[in-house]
């Protein structure tokens, strides 16, 4: 199987691709636009610096070299790929707001995919029965505890003015920090972006991460914080510790390969 990942929402494609090659020796690649990767999430594959039309031209020329086209978020590409390459297997992978509460409106796109995945369980709400939850993968080679950096009694909250959920949740984060007597750091990740390869070092400086409040699932950053040994305050105020086994990249990829084999057209 040769797998091309299109787009890299939350860096998920790069983690999947890295472990698909590492554990299964597959020919795999990721293509992303650099303008939409301000944090350097494309640690595997390429983030190309080009305009949208150039990107699509490059993408369509790449597709012919791969068997499975794994599209992240950009569901409008599915009909185009199916029209031009009807024998290719297309996996459509949703990650959040692009599909939450929009399953009926987006039917023209997801119904053409050979496999439809979602990255958090809340996205199954309203989804057709064949949609499968594939847990967000965390690269535990990149995210791991560094105890000497830890500052106890501290909490971190990532504020993002471009994310409506995060921009509203900061007041909730302040109240949570007060409840537990924590010194809170609110970091504007758009104004002061932290490169993805440096995020582990930054997370390890804190004891807690306060995750988003308005969406009932742990964010990928929240999962990465758990892998770094932080305690994470999730959407319902509950404190969780330790990265669940289902989110370790090797376990996610093992399940993904099984799903690929079901749709692979030799």
Per-residue pLDDT of the chain in tens (266 residues, 90 and over written 9)? 999 999 999 999 999 999 999 999 999 999 999 999 999 999 999 999 999 999 999 999 999 999 999 999 999 999 999 999 999 999 999 999 999 999 999 999 999 999 999 999 999 999 999 999 999 999 999 999 999 999 999 999 998 776 655 556 888 999 999 999 999 999 998 889 999 999 999 999 999 999 988 888 999 999 999 999 999 999 999 999 999 999 999 999 999 999 999 999 77
pLDDT one-digit tens code per residue, 198-231: 999 999 999 999 998 888 899 999 999 999 999 9
For the chain, give every domain's residue range.
2-136+248-263, 147-245
CB pairs under 8 A, 24+ apart, for 139-144?
139/15, 139/18, 139/19, 139/249, 140/227, 140/243, 140/248, 140/249, 142/43, 142/197, 142/200, 143/199, 143/200, 143/203, 143/224, 143/227, 143/228, 144/200, 144/227, 144/228, 144/229
Token pair recorded at residue 134: 């594939």
Task: Find out whether 238 and 120 touch, Cβ atoms under 8 Å.
Answer: no
May I ask the CATH class of domain 2-136+248-263? alpha beta
Residue at token pair 């929402």: 9
pTM, whole model, 2 decimals? Answer: 0.95
């Amino acid at each position: 199987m040769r797998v091309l990942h299109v787009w890299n929402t939350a860096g998920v494609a790069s983690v999947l691709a890295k472990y698909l090659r590492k554990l299964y020796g597959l020919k795999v690649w990721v293509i992303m636009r650099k303008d939409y990767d301000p944090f350097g999430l494309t640690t595997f594959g390429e983030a190309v610096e080009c305009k949208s039309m150039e990107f699509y031209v490059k993408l369509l020329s790449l597709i012919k070299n791969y068997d499975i086209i794994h599209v992240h978020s950009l569901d409008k590409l599915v009909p185009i790929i199916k029209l031009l390459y009807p024998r290719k297997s297309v996996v459509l992978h949703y990650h959040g707001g692009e599909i939450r509460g929009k399953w009926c409106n987006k039917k023209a796109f997801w119904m053409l995919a050979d496999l439809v995945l979602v990255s958090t369980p809340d996205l199954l709400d309203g989804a057709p029965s064949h949609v499968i939850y594939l847990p967000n993968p965390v690269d535990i080679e990149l995210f791991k505890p560094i105890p000497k950096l830890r500052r106890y009694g501290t909490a971190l909250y990532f504020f993002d003015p471009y994310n409506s959920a995060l921009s509203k949740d900061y007041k909730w984060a302040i109240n949570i920090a007060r409840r537990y007597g924590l010194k809170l750091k609110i970091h504007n990740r758009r104004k002061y972006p932290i490169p993805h390869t440096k995020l582990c070092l930054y997370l390890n400086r804190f004891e807690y991460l306060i995750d988003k409040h308005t969406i009932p699932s742990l964010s990928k950053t929240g999962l990465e914080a758990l892998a770094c040994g932080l305690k994470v305050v999730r959407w319902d105020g509950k404190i969780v510790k330790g990265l669940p086994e289902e989110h370790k990249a090797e376990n996610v990829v093992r399940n993904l390969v099984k799903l690929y084999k079901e749709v692979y057209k030799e």
